């Protein structure tokens, strides 16, 4: 079982503010790092799949960075909106096909 940790477990942010949170994963046998957004009563939806050290990906106001040597990824939300309220899951894929998920960071954006 690979240890994938996300912090914080939850956070509250005021509408319009920016925020970020962390995913830590093993630094060996890296293959890919996934980020998913999971809104209540919906299915998890892919945000990013990152494969290269130093990768930076962006989708609208959400972006992510990747450091495979030290085993962490940051997800950033710029100018948070109520629709950004969700649980954000990261998942690590080693040199096999299995995805190991973190427990998620639950973001609540207050209007």
Q: Is 66 in the site for another protein (CB under 8 A)?
A: no
Distance (Å, whole) CA 18 – CA 20: 7
- β-pair partners for 37: 45, 88
Dihedral in degrees, nearest 10, Cα atoms 60, 75, 28, 104 = -120
Nearer to another protein, 61 or 98 (CB): 98
Min dist CB 69 to another protein, Å, is: 18
Min dist CB 107 to another protein, Å, is: 16
Contact stretch for another protein (CB under 8 A) within 14-22, 53-61, 65-73, 94-102: 94-102
- Interface mask (CB under 8 A) for another protein, residues 23-62, using x and -? --------xx-x-x----xxxxxx--x-x-----------
Q: Is 1 in the site for another protein (CB under 8 A)?
A: yes
Q: Is 97 in the site for another protein (CB under 8 A)?
A: yes
b/e burial code for range 87-107 (CB count within 10 A of at least 16 → b): bbbbbbbbeeeebebbebbbb
CB atoms inside a 10 Å sphere around CB 82: 10
């Amino acid at each position: 079982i690979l240890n994938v940790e996300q912090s914080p477990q939850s956070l509250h942010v005021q509408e319009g503010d920016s925020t970020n949170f962390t995913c830590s994963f093993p630094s060996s046998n890296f293959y890919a790092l996934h980020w998913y957004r999971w809104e209540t009563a919906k299915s998890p939806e892919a945000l990013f799949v990152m494969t290269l050290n130093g990768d930076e990906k962006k989708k609208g106001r959400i972006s992510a960075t990747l450091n495979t040597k030290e085993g962490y990824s940051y997800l950033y939300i710029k100018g948070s909106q109520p629709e950004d309220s969700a649980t954000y899951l990261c998942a690590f894929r080693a040199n096999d096909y299995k995805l190991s998920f973190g427990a998620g960071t639950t973001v609540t954006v207050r209007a």
